[in-house]
């Protein structure tokens, strides 16, 4: 069964054709990142405009590369939440129009459920139940994935998301948006013990995260050095900061595994591309005898193959929207 996926929640216009939730026939991503770099972050108005310009070409390209026409498609899956509202609306409205014109069912997909599904594409035999750490630019959650469509949040960030924490600290160190990727590269050459940074905890909620104090500590370190006329060692500060963020993520994730008794651990979202996070979790899972799964690097960031994959499971579960489907800037992953 072929599903056409459409994604436009942030700064990537994407479309893909996926067979039976697992086999990617095409995966087209038009990134706007170079334009947003000029402003140090995503400018929502620009994102919406670029989505409107790109979407027809991107969807046509995805069908063409898959060697199919719209008639071969069983259903159209679209990201409807969460994200930038103007950006989401472009994908949702395009999908609605296509669904109406081609007489195909419309399947609403939660963006973070899509990120989790990137693992179904990357690992053919991975099936729920499992525990998932979802870390993206806007969210950080620990989720019990009981089935493809039954998900429960058991830990979440109280302030910044992990990706946001990387991007803001990287920006303070002078790196271009999105700084998380560059910081990861630079950190490989630094000493993670060089700068002492706090490992924040949330009192009374050991599975929750808090990154804003850590980010402030880095910004204060930079300002203090500036005031004293000292040079910051960007490699060492990047390595120390990356280690602090990864320590917070892995510590809570391991505790969640202990508490739930789940032994299959999965990561997803843009930050799941982080090389230290991947190495650390691989090591710690091996030590504890857990299975560990992560998406291929090309599916960590925003793409539509993951939306088509999750769309397949939502469709099998009867999750079909009418033409009154609306986009939502915020919506919890457990609500679908
Ligand atoms: O999932 P994603 O592509 O978009 C959202 O749904 O938000 O995540 C983007 C985030 C950005 O904050 C980016 O800096 C971060 O993922 N990111 C990384 C790495 N690659 C992407 N953060 C740390 N290390 C990386 N290698
Ligand atoms: Zn994303």
Show pLDDT as tens, one digit a residue, over the chain (336 residues).
999 999 999 999 999 999 999 999 999 999 999 999 999 999 999 999 999 999 999 999 999 999 999 999 999 999 999 999 999 999 999 999 999 999 999 999 999 999 999 999 999 999 999 999 999 999 999 999 999 999 999 999 999 999 999 999 999 999 999 999 999 999 999 999 999 999 889 999 999 999 999 999 999 999 999 999 999 999 999 999 999 999 999 999 999 999 999 999 999 999 999 999 999 999 999 999 999 999 999 999 999 999 999 999 999 999 999 999 999 999 999 999
Q: How far is residue 105's CA from residue 1's CA, in Å, rounded to a whole number?
A: 13
- Cis peptide upstream of residue 82 (ω within 30 degrees of 0): yes
- Cis peptide upstream of residue 147 (ω within 30 degrees of 0): no
Query: Tens of pLDDT along 45-68?
Result: 999 999 999 999 999 999 999 999
DSSP string, 168-234: HHHHHTTPPSSHHHHHHHHHTTS-TTSS-------TT-TT-B--HHHHHHHHHHHHHHHHTTPPP-H
123, burial (CB in 10 Å: exposed 0-12, middle 13-18, buried 19+): middle
DSSP string, 90-146: HHHHHHHHHHHHHT--EEEEEHHHHHHHHHHHHSTT--SSEEEEEE-SS-EEEEEEE
Spell out a b/e string for 19-51, using b for 16 or more CB atoms within 10 Å of the CB, else e: bebbebbbbbbbebeeebeeeeebbbebbbbbb
Helices then strands, each counted (H, E), the chain? 10, 10
- Nearest Cα residue to atom 21 of ligand 1: 270
- Distance in Å, CA 75 to ligand 2 centroid: 22
pTM: predicted TM-score of the whole model, two decimal places: 0.97
- Nearest Cα residue to atom 16 of ligand 1: 270
Which of 163, 171, 298, 301 for a ligand 1 pocket mutation test, highest count of atoms within 8 Å of Cβ? 163
Look up residue 20 and give its two tokens.
């039976």
Query: Could you give the strand order of the β-sheet that contains 106-110, starting from the edge strand earlier in sequence?
Result: 23-31, 12-19, 2-7, 75-81, 106-110
- Distance in Å, CA 181 to ligand 1 centroid: 7
Q: How far is residue 303's CA from residue 111's CA, in Å, rounded to a whole number?
A: 10
How many Cβ atoms from other residues are within 10 Å of residue 299's Cβ? 25
Which of 180, 187, 188 for a ligand 1 pocket mutation test, highest count of atoms within 8 Å of Cβ? 180
Look up tokens 């979202």; give the residue.
269
Query: Cβ(82) to ligand 1 under 6 A?
Result: no
- Distance in Å, CA 69 to ligand 1 centroid: 33
- Distance in Å, CA 113 to ligand 2 centroid: 10
Q: How far is residue 254's CA from residue 290's CA, in Å, rounded to a whole number?
A: 10
How many Cβ atoms from other residues are within 10 Å of residue 56's Cβ? 13
Query: Cβ(114) to ligand 1 under 6 A?
Result: no
């Amino acid at each position: 069964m072929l599903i056409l996926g459409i994604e436009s929640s942030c700064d990537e216009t994407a479309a893909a054709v996926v067979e039976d939730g697992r086999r990617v026939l095409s995966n087209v991503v038009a990134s706007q990142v170079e334009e947003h770099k000029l402003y140090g972050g995503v400018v929502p108005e620009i994102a919406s405009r670029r989505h409107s310009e790109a979407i027809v070409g991107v969807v046509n390209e995805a069908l063409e590369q898959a060697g199919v026409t719209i008639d071969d498609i069983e259903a159209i899956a679209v990201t409807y939440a969460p994200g930038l509202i103007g950006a989401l609306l472009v994908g949702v409205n395009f999908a609605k129009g296509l669904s109406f014109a081609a007489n195909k069912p419309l399947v609403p997909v939660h963006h973070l459920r899509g990120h989790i599904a990137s693992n179904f594409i990357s690992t053919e035999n991975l099936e729920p139940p499992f525990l998932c750490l979802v870390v993206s630019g806007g969210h950080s959650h620990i989720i019990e994935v009981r089935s493809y469509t039954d998900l429960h949040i058991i830990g979440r960030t109280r302030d910044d998301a992990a990706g946001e924490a990387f991007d803001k600290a990287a920006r303070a160190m002078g790196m271009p948006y999105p700084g998380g990727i560059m910081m990861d590269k630079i950190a490989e050459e630094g000493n993670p013990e060089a700068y002492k940074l706090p490992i924040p905890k949330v009192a009374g909620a050991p599975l929750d995260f808090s990154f804003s104090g850590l980010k402030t500590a880095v910004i204060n370190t930079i300002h203090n050095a500036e005031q004293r006329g000292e040079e910051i060692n960007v490699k060492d500060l990047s390595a120390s900061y990356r280690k602090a963020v990864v320590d917070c993520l892995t510590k809570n994730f391991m505790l969640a595994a202990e508490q739930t008794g789940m032994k299959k651990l999965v990561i997803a979202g843009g930050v799941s591309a982080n090389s230290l996070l991947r190495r650390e979790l691989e090591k710690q899972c091996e030590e504890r005898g857990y299975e560990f799964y992560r998406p291929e690097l090309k599916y960590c960031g925003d793409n539509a193959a993951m939306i088509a994959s999750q769309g397949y499971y939502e469709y099998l579960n009867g999750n079909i929207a009418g033409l009154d489907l609306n986009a939502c800037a915020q919506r919890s992953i457990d609500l679908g």
